[in-house]
Structure 1
Amino acid sequence: MQLEPAAARFAADLVALWPEDEREGRPLGLAVSGGPDSLALLLLAHEALPGRIAVASVDHGLRPEAAGEVALVARLAAARGIPFTPLAVTLAPGNVPAQARAARYAALARWAQDAGLGAVATAHHADDQAETLLMRLNRGSGLAGLAGVRPRGRIEESDVLLLRPLLGWRKAELAAVVAASGITPAQDPTNTDPAFDRARLRAALASADWLDPVQIAVSAVHIAEGWQALEWYAELDWHEMVMREDSDTGTPGFSYCANVPRIIAIETILRIIRELGGHATRSEAARAWERLWAGENASLGGVLAVPGVEKVEKVGVAMRVWRFRPEPARGRVN
C-alpha cells in the first residue's frame, strides 16, 4: 500500500476524532509496540503529522523479547527524528491481561501528561473491534461491554484524551503499509497462542470469509451510540429521581423513585452505591434490581436497599421508592 494516499486517509480519520481546533499545537502521542499494527500507526502519523508526534513503547516485563521490540521502535523513531520514550511497568497480582492493560494505560497517561501531549493514539483496528465484540457476545456481555472499543475517550483515572483512529482499517491494510516501507515488524507469539481466547477467535475469523470485520466493527459503533444515549438517560434519572436523605443521626442515604427501564435503573443503582462509598458490578446491581422490583430488600457493596411504594409529591402519583443506606455494622460474634 502506498504511504502517501494511506496517510491522507489516516489524516481524515484522525481529524474526525480530533479536530484541528482542539489540538492547540500539542503533539499526538503514539503507543507503539513494534508489531505491524502499531508500526503502521507510526508510519502513517509521521507522514500525516511530521514533527507533531511522539512515541512511547511499554515493556510489561512478561517476555524476554519485549526489550528488543522496544529497541526496534526506538531505532525507527530515531531514524525519523521522532521523540521516543521507553516505559517499563510492574504488574500487580491477578489476571495478567487485565493487569497488563491497566498498567500500560496508566504509564501512557503519565507519559502524556509529563510530555504535554494533546492526546494518545493506539493502533486498534477493525479486526480487533470485531474480535472484541464477538468475544463479548459469546460471554453474554451487556450493552456497556458490547459497545466495544471506543474511537474516542479518556484514559481511565486521567484526563488524557485517548484516540483510536484506525478502527476503520483492516489488519491486512496496516500490514501492507509496513511491508511497503521495508520494515520487518515484531511478532508477539501470544497473538497466535490457542491458550488465549482471542487467538482462537482470530483463527476462527480468518477461516470464516463470510464474516466482514469492518461491518462488525460498524455494528459496535452503533451499539456504542445506543449506550451513549442510555448513559445520558441515566444522568437525567439521577438528577430527577434520586434525592439525598440523610438520617437524623447524620447517616447518609438516598431515596430513588424507580420508574425507568431496568437497564437505566441499574446504572442509577450503581451511582448510588458509589456515592455511599461502596462498589458493585453491573451484574450485582441487576440482581439487586430484581429483588427490589419484587419487593424484597437487597444488599450490595456495603449498602442496604429497602423497597416501598408511596405517593411522590413531585409527580403526584404512587411510585416505587427505594431507599439506600450504608449497611449497619454487624455485631461481633464471640
Structure 2
Amino acid sequence: MTDWTERFRADLTALVGLPSGPIAVAVSGGPDSMALLSLAHATAPTIAATVDHRLRAASAAEARMVADWCAAAGVPHTTLVPPDGWAPQSIQADARVLRYALLTDWAKTNGATVLLTAHHADDQAETFLMRAGRGSGVTGLGGIRALRDERGVTLARPLLGWRRAELRAFAEAQGLPFVDDPSNADPRFDRVRMRDWLSDAPIEARAVAQSAAACAEAAAALDAMADLMVTERRRGDGWDMTGLPREVRRRLARRAILDVRTARPCEGRFDPATNVEGLLDALYAGEKATIAGVLACSQGQIWHFRPAPPRRSDRV
C-alpha cells in the first residue's frame, strides 16, 4: 500500500497541503470512494460521511457497510439523510444539491475545512465530452474542478489523475468492501451512455482529462484578466466593453449581473455558470435583455445593468 499512499499524499499535498484539522471524506460506498477513504485514512486524520438519499431500498445497507468499515478502522463516520419532506424534482440534480449542502454543513460542524470527493480521470473525461457535445465554451470544458469553494469549505478532488480501474484494483487488493451503484449502469443517464461509448472509443481518458485541465487553466486566466479589468471598465451602472473579446465580455457581464443582484434583491436566481449567450447577442445587436431580474442594455460599447422593473400582473 505504501506506493499508493505516497502517490496519494503527493497529489493531496499539491492541491491543499496537509490540513491541520481532520480531512473530511465523502464516501458513497462505491470502489472509488472506498479507495479514497482508505488512502486518506493512511495519510492524515480523517472523518467520513455517507449521504443516504433514501431513493433506493439498498442505500441504508450501503451506508451501514461504510459505517462498519470506519468503526473497525477507527474513522469517525456519520450517515446524513435528507430533511423530512424532501421531494426531488430532478433526481440527479436535486440529489447533488442536497448532498453538498449536507456534506459541507457536516464538515464545518466537525472542524474540517477540506472535503474530499472521489472524482477521477474517467469522470473528468466523461464530463468534458458531454459538455463538448452540448457546445460548451472554455469554462464548461474545464469540467470538474480540482479545487473550488463550496459553502465555505474547500472541495478538493485529489484523484483526478487516477483511473477508475486503478481505484477498483486498489480497493480489491486491500480487501475493501464496496458496492456498485445500479444507477451507474442505467442508460437513461447521459453520463452512463458516454461511459459506455468511451469504453469502446480509441480515446485515452487520461488525455481527455488533461485537455479538461488545460481548459480549466485557460478559464482561470480569463477570469484573472476580467478581475483586473473590473475597476478600469466599470462606469457607474455601465461597463466599457470597447475592444474586448467576447469571452472577456461574457465574464464581465456575469460580474455586472452579480453586482446588481448583490446590491438589491431581484427576481429569480442566478448561477455564475448560467449561459448568457442570449444576453450577449442582444447587447451586441443594441437591444435590451433581461436575465435573473437584471435589465441589460447597450449604448454603443457601454453596456448598462440595473434591476429590471417588476413584471406587471396579467390581470385585466
TM-score, normalised via structure 1 length: 0.86
Kept after mapping to 2: 8 A contact 1:119/1:160: yes
- Tell me the equivalent position of 1:236: 228
- Tell me the equivalent position of 1:300: 291
- Tell me the equivalent position of 2:239: 256
Q: What residue ranges of structure 1 are gaps of 5+ in the alignment?
A: 245-253, 310-319
- Tell me the equivalent position of 2:122: 127
SS in 2 for 1:276: helix
Instruction: Kindly state the Cα deviation for residue 283 of structure 1 after the two structures are TM-superposed.
Output: 6.5
Percent of residue pairs bearing the same amino acid type: 42
1:35 paired residue among 30, 34, 46: 30
Change (3 A) 1:272 1:79: same
Match runs of 1:46-195 below 5 Å:
46-49=41-44, 52-90=45-83, 91-155=86-150, 158-195=151-188
Kept after mapping to 2: 8 A contact 1:40/1:177: yes
Q: Give me the CA root mean square deviation.
A: 1.8
Instruction: Kindly state the Cα deviation for residue 196 of structure 1 after the two structures are TM-superposed.
Output: 1.1
Kept after mapping to 2: 8 A contact 1:270/1:280: no
The one-letter code sitting in structure 1 at the alignment partner of 2:254 is L
Q: Distance in 1 between matches of 2:299 and 2:288?
A: 10
Q: Distance in 1 between matches of 2:277 and 2:190?
A: 27
Q: Distance in 2 between matches of 1:331 and 1:48?
A: 59
Decide which structure has the larger Cα Rg and report it.
1
- Tell me the equivalent position of 1:251: none
The runs of 4+ residues in structure 1 deviating greater than 3 Å are 90-93, 278-284, 328-333
The one-letter code sitting in structure 2 at the alignment partner of 1:68 is A
Instruction: Kindly state the Cα deviation for residue 140 of structure 1 after the two structures are TM-superposed.
Output: 1.3
Q: Distance in 2 between matches of 1:93 and 1:66?
A: 16
Kept after mapping to 1: 8 A contact 2:65/2:177: no
The one-letter code sitting in structure 1 at the alignment partner of 2:276 is A
Q: Distance in 2 between matches of 1:43 and 1:207?
A: 30
Count of residues in Structure 1 that have an aligned counterpart in Structure 2 = 305
Change (3 A) 1:232 1:92: farther
Q: Distance in 2 between matches of 1:264 and 1:321?
A: 14
Q: Distance in 2 between matches of 1:299 and 1:27?
A: 45
Kept after mapping to 2: 8 A contact 1:55/1:84: yes
- Tell me the equivalent position of 1:11: 9
The one-letter code sitting in structure 2 at the alignment partner of 1:258 is M
SS in 2 for 1:215: helix
- Tell me the equivalent position of 1:273: 257
Kept after mapping to 2: 8 A contact 1:284/1:300: no
Instruction: Kindly state the Cα deviation for residue 329 of structure 1 after the two structures are TM-superposed.
Output: 4.0
Match runs of 1:204-243 below 5 Å:
204-208=197-201, 210-243=202-235
SS in 1 for 2:79: strand
